[in-house]
Amino acid sequence: MKHILILILGTVLVSIGLTACHDDESYAEQKEKERKVVGAFLKRSPLLLLGHDDDTLLNIPGINVISQEQFEAQDSMTDVSKNEFVLFSNTGIYMQIVRKGPGERLKHGEQTRVMTRYWEYNILADSLQSTDLTPYWIATPGILDVSNQYGTISASFNTEINGGGAMYLLYGVPNNNSKSVPSGWVVPLSYINLGRQKADDEGIALVRLIVPHGQGTADATSNVYPCFYEISYQRLRE
Protein backbone atom coordinates (compact mmCIF):
# COMPACT_ATOMS: atom_id res chain seq x y z
CA MET A 1 0.00 0.00 0.00
CA LYS A 2 2.95 2.28 0.71
CA HIS A 3 3.99 2.22 -2.96
CA ILE A 4 0.62 3.30 -4.31
CA LEU A 5 0.26 6.06 -1.71
CA ILE A 6 3.67 7.42 -2.65
CA LEU A 7 2.84 7.20 -6.36
CA ILE A 8 -0.56 8.88 -6.05
CA LEU A 9 0.73 11.54 -3.66
CA GLY A 10 3.63 12.29 -5.99
CA THR A 11 1.34 12.63 -8.98
CA VAL A 12 -1.05 14.90 -7.06
CA LEU A 13 1.76 17.10 -5.78
CA VAL A 14 3.26 17.44 -9.25
CA SER A 15 -0.13 18.41 -10.66
CA ILE A 16 -0.77 20.94 -7.89
CA GLY A 17 2.68 22.42 -8.34
CA LEU A 18 2.32 22.69 -12.09
CA THR A 19 -1.14 24.24 -11.79
CA ALA A 20 0.15 26.84 -9.34
CA CYS A 21 3.05 27.70 -11.63
CA HIS A 22 0.69 28.07 -14.59
CA ASP A 23 -1.78 30.42 -12.90
CA ASP A 24 0.04 33.49 -14.17
CA GLU A 25 1.03 32.06 -17.57
CA SER A 26 -0.93 32.13 -20.80
CA TYR A 27 -1.42 28.93 -22.76
CA ALA A 28 0.98 30.21 -25.42
CA GLU A 29 3.62 30.80 -22.73
CA GLN A 30 3.07 27.31 -21.32
CA LYS A 31 3.48 25.76 -24.78
CA GLU A 32 6.66 27.75 -25.36
CA LYS A 33 8.04 26.52 -22.04
CA GLU A 34 7.19 22.96 -23.04
CA ARG A 35 8.95 23.42 -26.39
CA LYS A 36 12.08 24.66 -24.64
CA VAL A 37 12.23 21.88 -22.03
CA VAL A 38 11.78 19.23 -24.74
CA GLY A 39 14.56 20.86 -26.78
CA ALA A 40 16.84 20.85 -23.75
CA PHE A 41 15.92 17.22 -22.99
CA LEU A 42 16.97 16.17 -26.48
CA LYS A 43 20.43 17.63 -25.93
CA ARG A 44 21.31 17.11 -22.28
CA SER A 45 21.84 13.32 -22.02
CA PRO A 46 19.65 12.90 -18.93
CA LEU A 47 20.30 10.23 -16.31
CA LEU A 48 16.83 9.17 -15.19
CA LEU A 49 15.97 7.59 -11.83
CA LEU A 50 13.46 4.78 -12.29
CA GLY A 51 11.71 3.26 -9.30
CA HIS A 52 11.52 4.08 -5.62
CA ASP A 53 13.52 1.25 -4.07
CA ASP A 54 16.15 -0.11 -6.46
CA ASP A 55 17.41 3.23 -7.79
CA THR A 56 17.56 1.88 -11.33
CA LEU A 57 19.10 4.38 -13.70
CA LEU A 58 18.58 4.85 -17.41
CA ASN A 59 21.15 6.91 -19.25
CA ILE A 60 19.72 8.66 -22.32
CA PRO A 61 22.67 9.98 -24.35
CA GLY A 62 22.19 12.93 -26.70
CA ILE A 63 19.21 12.11 -28.87
CA ASN A 64 19.68 11.96 -32.64
CA VAL A 65 16.41 13.09 -34.25
CA ILE A 66 15.60 11.61 -37.65
CA SER A 67 12.79 12.42 -40.08
CA GLN A 68 9.86 10.20 -40.94
CA GLU A 69 11.34 9.77 -44.42
CA GLN A 70 14.59 8.40 -42.99
CA PHE A 71 12.64 6.26 -40.54
CA GLU A 72 10.63 4.69 -43.35
CA ALA A 73 13.79 4.17 -45.42
CA GLN A 74 15.18 2.18 -42.47
CA ASP A 75 12.23 -0.23 -42.58
CA SER A 76 10.45 1.80 -39.86
CA MET A 77 13.23 1.22 -37.35
CA THR A 78 15.46 3.46 -35.25
CA ASP A 79 19.16 2.76 -34.70
CA VAL A 80 19.48 2.43 -30.91
CA SER A 81 23.29 2.47 -31.13
CA LYS A 82 22.97 6.02 -32.49
CA ASN A 83 20.11 6.80 -30.07
CA GLU A 84 17.81 7.70 -32.95
CA PHE A 85 14.31 8.99 -32.32
CA VAL A 86 11.93 9.66 -35.19
CA LEU A 87 9.96 12.90 -34.99
CA PHE A 88 6.34 12.75 -36.13
CA SER A 89 6.05 16.39 -37.12
CA ASN A 90 2.23 16.41 -37.24
CA THR A 91 1.96 15.51 -33.52
CA GLY A 92 5.33 16.47 -32.02
CA ILE A 93 5.83 12.92 -30.74
CA TYR A 94 9.36 11.46 -30.76
CA MET A 95 9.69 7.66 -30.83
CA GLN A 96 12.52 5.18 -30.52
CA ILE A 97 11.85 1.51 -31.25
CA VAL A 98 14.23 -0.36 -28.95
CA ARG A 99 12.81 -3.75 -29.96
CA LYS A 100 10.21 -4.44 -32.62
CA GLY A 101 9.18 -7.62 -30.84
CA PRO A 102 8.15 -11.10 -31.97
CA GLY A 103 5.10 -11.91 -34.04
CA GLU A 104 3.49 -9.60 -36.60
CA ARG A 105 1.95 -6.16 -36.83
CA LEU A 106 -1.75 -5.82 -36.17
CA LYS A 107 -3.58 -6.69 -39.38
CA HIS A 108 -6.39 -4.71 -40.99
CA GLY A 109 -9.68 -5.62 -39.35
CA GLU A 110 -7.95 -7.38 -36.45
CA GLN A 111 -8.82 -6.90 -32.78
CA THR A 112 -6.73 -8.11 -29.87
CA ARG A 113 -5.75 -7.46 -26.27
CA VAL A 114 -2.32 -6.14 -25.42
CA MET A 115 -0.52 -6.08 -22.08
CA THR A 116 1.66 -3.06 -21.38
CA ARG A 117 4.14 -2.07 -18.72
CA TYR A 118 5.54 1.42 -18.45
CA TRP A 119 7.25 4.17 -16.60
CA GLU A 120 6.46 7.84 -17.06
CA TYR A 121 8.96 10.65 -16.54
CA ASN A 122 7.65 14.21 -16.29
CA ILE A 123 10.13 16.25 -18.32
CA LEU A 124 8.95 19.61 -17.01
CA ALA A 125 9.15 18.52 -13.36
CA ASP A 126 12.31 16.47 -14.11
CA SER A 127 11.08 13.52 -12.05
CA LEU A 128 9.54 10.07 -12.24
CA GLN A 129 5.79 10.55 -12.16
CA SER A 130 4.24 7.08 -12.37
CA THR A 131 5.05 3.46 -13.19
CA ASP A 132 3.48 0.02 -12.94
CA LEU A 133 6.84 -1.63 -12.22
CA THR A 134 6.65 -1.21 -8.43
CA PRO A 135 5.89 -4.30 -6.31
CA TYR A 136 2.36 -3.01 -5.70
CA TRP A 137 1.48 -2.74 -9.41
CA ILE A 138 3.57 -5.55 -10.90
CA ALA A 139 0.62 -7.98 -10.86
CA THR A 140 -1.75 -5.48 -12.53
CA PRO A 141 -0.26 -4.33 -15.84
CA GLY A 142 -2.26 -2.23 -18.25
CA ILE A 143 -4.52 -4.20 -20.60
CA LEU A 144 -5.51 -2.51 -23.85
CA ASP A 145 -8.29 -3.47 -26.22
CA VAL A 146 -6.76 -2.70 -29.61
CA SER A 147 -8.27 -2.71 -33.09
CA ASN A 148 -7.13 -1.86 -36.61
CA GLN A 149 -9.83 -0.48 -38.88
CA TYR A 150 -8.68 0.40 -42.40
CA GLY A 151 -5.20 1.19 -41.10
CA THR A 152 -6.41 3.36 -38.20
CA ILE A 153 -5.46 1.84 -34.86
CA SER A 154 -7.46 2.64 -31.74
CA ALA A 155 -7.07 1.48 -28.15
CA SER A 156 -8.93 1.66 -24.87
CA PHE A 157 -8.15 0.40 -21.38
CA ASN A 158 -9.81 -2.89 -20.48
CA THR A 159 -11.12 -2.56 -16.92
CA GLU A 160 -12.68 -6.01 -16.61
CA ILE A 161 -9.50 -8.06 -16.28
CA ASN A 162 -7.52 -6.23 -13.59
CA GLY A 163 -9.24 -2.91 -13.01
CA GLY A 164 -7.39 -1.19 -15.82
CA GLY A 165 -3.86 -1.10 -14.41
CA ALA A 166 -1.87 1.80 -12.97
CA MET A 167 -2.21 4.23 -15.86
CA TYR A 168 -5.99 3.91 -15.97
CA LEU A 169 -6.44 4.07 -12.20
CA LEU A 170 -4.21 7.12 -11.87
CA TYR A 171 -5.54 9.08 -14.84
CA GLY A 172 -8.72 7.46 -16.12
CA VAL A 173 -10.86 7.43 -12.98
CA PRO A 174 -10.36 11.14 -12.17
CA ASN A 175 -11.13 11.90 -15.83
CA ASN A 176 -14.81 10.86 -15.72
CA ASN A 177 -13.86 7.18 -15.91
CA SER A 178 -12.52 7.63 -19.43
CA LYS A 179 -11.01 4.45 -20.84
CA SER A 180 -9.19 6.32 -23.60
CA VAL A 181 -5.53 5.47 -24.03
CA PRO A 182 -3.24 8.51 -24.46
CA SER A 183 -2.71 9.13 -28.17
CA GLY A 184 1.04 8.93 -27.73
CA TRP A 185 0.76 5.33 -26.52
CA VAL A 186 -1.17 4.30 -29.62
CA VAL A 187 1.37 5.56 -32.18
CA PRO A 188 3.88 2.66 -31.73
CA LEU A 189 1.16 0.10 -32.46
CA SER A 190 1.42 0.95 -36.16
CA TYR A 191 5.10 -0.06 -36.26
CA ILE A 192 5.78 -2.80 -33.69
CA ASN A 193 4.95 -6.49 -33.73
CA LEU A 194 2.43 -7.88 -31.30
CA GLY A 195 3.42 -11.34 -30.18
CA ARG A 196 4.61 -13.32 -27.19
CA GLN A 197 8.16 -14.13 -26.18
CA LYS A 198 9.10 -17.67 -27.22
CA ALA A 199 12.84 -17.68 -26.45
CA ASP A 200 14.98 -16.18 -23.69
CA ASP A 201 16.82 -13.94 -26.15
CA GLU A 202 13.62 -12.78 -27.89
CA GLY A 203 12.40 -9.64 -26.16
CA ILE A 204 8.87 -8.30 -26.50
CA ALA A 205 8.26 -4.96 -28.22
CA LEU A 206 9.79 -2.01 -26.36
CA VAL A 207 9.61 1.67 -27.27
CA ARG A 208 10.62 5.03 -25.83
CA LEU A 209 8.54 8.12 -26.42
CA ILE A 210 8.62 11.84 -25.84
CA VAL A 211 4.97 12.86 -25.71
CA PRO A 212 3.85 16.52 -25.73
CA HIS A 213 0.91 17.52 -23.56
CA GLY A 214 -1.68 17.37 -26.33
CA GLN A 215 -0.90 13.69 -27.03
CA GLY A 216 -0.59 12.63 -23.39
CA THR A 217 -2.85 12.01 -20.42
CA ALA A 218 -5.71 14.31 -19.46
CA ASP A 219 -3.54 15.64 -16.64
CA ALA A 220 -0.66 16.41 -19.01
CA THR A 221 -3.07 18.12 -21.40
CA SER A 222 -4.64 20.32 -18.75
CA ASN A 223 -1.33 21.20 -17.06
CA VAL A 224 0.74 21.44 -20.26
CA TYR A 225 3.72 19.22 -19.57
CA PRO A 226 5.58 16.68 -21.75
CA CYS A 227 6.56 13.18 -20.63
CA PHE A 228 9.21 10.63 -21.52
CA TYR A 229 7.94 7.04 -21.57
CA GLU A 230 9.39 3.58 -21.85
CA ILE A 231 6.63 1.09 -22.69
CA SER A 232 6.56 -2.62 -23.50
CA TYR A 233 3.76 -4.22 -25.52
CA GLN A 234 2.83 -7.90 -25.56
CA ARG A 235 -0.18 -9.69 -27.04
CA LEU A 236 -2.26 -11.53 -24.42
CA ARG A 237 -2.84 -15.24 -24.73
CA GLU A 238 -6.20 -15.96 -26.32
57 φ, ψ (degrees, to nearest 5): -115, 140
Which amino acid is residue 30, in one-letter code?
A: Q
Give the β-pairing of 111-122 and 127-131: antiparallel
pLDDT for the residue 60: 75
pLDDT tens-digit readout, 5-38: 344 444 544 554 555 555 678 999 999 999 999 9
> What would the mean pLDDT of 191-202 be, rounded to a whole number?
83
Banded model confidence at residue 67, pLDDT cuts 50, 70, 90: very high
pLDDT tens-digit readout, 99-154: 999 999 999 999 999 999 999 999 999 888 999 988 888 888 999 999 999 889 99
User: Is 18 within 8 Å of 225 (Cβ atoms)?
Assistant: yes
pLDDT for the residue 172: 73
DSSP state of 57: E
Which amino acid is residue 57, in one-letter code?
A: L
Task: Assess whether pLDDT exceeds 50 at residue 4.
Answer: no
Give the β-pairing of 64-66 and 84-88: parallel
Banded model confidence at residue 198, pLDDT cuts 50, 70, 90: confident
Q: What domains can you pick out in the chain, each with its CATH number?
A: 2-235 (3.10.50.40)
pLDDT for the residue 153: 96
